[in-house]
Copies of this chain bind each other. A is one copy, B any other.
Amino acid sequence: MDKPSLPSGTRDFSPAVVARRRFITGAIESVYRLHGFYPLETPAMENLSVLLGKYGDEGDRLVFRILNSGDFMQSVPDAAKAEGSTRSIAPHIAEKGLRYDLTVPFARFVVMNRHALQFPFRRYQIQPVWRADRPQKGRYREFWQCDADIIGTDSLMAEADLMSVFHAGFTALGLGDYVIRIGNRKILEGLAAQSGRPELFRPMVTALDKWDKIGIDGVKTQLSAAGFTEAEAEAIASACERRTLDAAAIDNLAARFADNATALEGVDELRSLLSFGTEARMEYDGTLARGLDYYTGCIFEVEIPNSGIGSVASGGRYANLTGVFGVPGLSGVGISFGLDRLYDVLDARNGFPADTGTATQVLFCPMDIAAQPLAFRLAAALRRNGTAAEVYPDNAKLKKQLEHAGNRGIPFTVIIGSQEIETGEFTFRHMLNGSQEKVTEQELYSRFRS
């Protein structure tokens, strides 16, 4: 028999890891709730008609498809069968796929339920997504997103709210040194237009996107190669350089775009965002263009300095997310924390609290079968007081039972043998230092009552 294994890019989460992951999701979830976001859950499977065409060609290729049930080859037309290629067969044998992100399912939910929802509608969603990407360090085929979106308002206060969520979330996680990089799609468009080269918008974005890797000089070279003059390349690079996002930075940007209404609209959005007085640590970063295909205004990426890990959260404004499902006019803004990368950052920093797991506090060790029912009853009584307790279920040597407690990090054991039953006093052992004392039933309860 073959040894069983896991599909590549997927993971089991052992109890210790689950506890740490829940520390993260718990912190994010409580921040979301404090900001008025309500939980939504959608199915793992979506119709391919919902998923495809939303993530670009590359995204479509990465969607996991689910084989139709039953005699699926029956619905393949003869011509397609005769061709026998993936391209000819695939459309006929799979109608469903696994969720690729949480944004498109959210848009689908909003469209399907728009008459019942109260707008602006705020929802959060913490669920796994699946992508048939090549697995590598830090990149999995099943990974978790923690999204929050506000849909049905144009107000920049929604962006400011989400900056406040970032601040509270990263602070709760002990990652108060986070930095939110903020860009704006309208400023990018204005930049290309201002150079008189709106047609060079995409090559410009491609060049800017490489800033972190090739630096400002590399970007300028690429911009020139794309067709911008040296002066234009200089102007673009200098407008996109990272800087603290404050009133001075905004005035400086505004001055650069005297003639461009689109860019000025983008600058005004940043000014509005600042006007609410959020405490978040924000920098302007003109190079940000992620999710270009649906973000229309502000774009966010959060990084933890010196973590060696890319962005741990991101988001942006999409003026027309539900338009792809035939319902225009709903503007929204959303963010997503990446659970797996946050885990890696906290793990590298020893940033998890020591007691993430609610572990068993007491292991009862019956020294013979006759002592088992009493141990069982005492454990039940402790649980009623809220203390996690177990009884070692087998009739094993005391040494083995104590080792079991020690290996599992259970802090206390209660030893019960015939002598203990007779006297009504049990041996209470502190596993950390091995010290023992005698306690009555009532004394045992009172130790765990506080």
* Residues of A bordering B, CB below 8 Å: 1-7, 10-15, 18-19, 22, 33-36, 38-47, 49-50, 61-62, 64-67, 69-74, 76, 81, 84-86, 89-90, 93-96, 98, 108-109, 111-113, 118, 120, 122-123, 128, 130, 132, 141-142, 150, 153-155, 157-158, 160-161, 164, 168, 275-279, 324-326, 357-360, 372-373, 376-377, 380, 383, 386-395, 404, 407-408
Interchain CB contact under 8 A, B74 and A86: yes
Interchain CB contact under 8 A, A373 and B276: yes
Additional A-B contacts beyond A34-B386, A35-B390, A73-B84 (15; CB < 8 A): A3-B112, A5-B50, A6-B43, A12-B43, A12-B113, A64-B67, A64-B69, A65-B67, A66-B67, A67-B90, A67-B94, A72-B90, A118-B404, A120-B393, A157-B391
Of the A-B pairs whose beta carbons lie under 8 Å apart in the complex, a sample of 25, sorted by A's number, is A3-B325, A4-B108, A4-B111, A4-B112, A7-B43, A7-B45, A10-B43, A12-B43, A12-B112, A13-B40, A13-B42, A35-B383, A36-B388, A44-B130, A45-B64, A64-B69, A65-B66, A69-B132, A70-B132, A81-B84, A118-B408, A161-B391, A164-B380, A276-B376, A278-B376
Interchain CB contact under 8 A, A38 and B15: yes
A154 CA / B3 CA spacing, docked (Å): 25
Shortest beta-carbon distance from A350 to chain B in Å: 22
List chain B residues, Cβ under 8 A from A22: 39
Interchain CB contact under 8 A, A47 and B4: yes
Interchain CB contact under 8 A, B142 and A44: yes
A39 CA / B325 CA spacing, docked (Å): 39
Shortest beta-carbon distance from A152 to chain B in Å: 9
List chain B residues, Cβ under 8 A from A86: 70-74
Instruction: Take A84-B81, A275-B373, A389-B34 as given contacts and tell me if A7 and B168 are in contact as well, using a CB distance cutoff of 8 Å.
Output: no
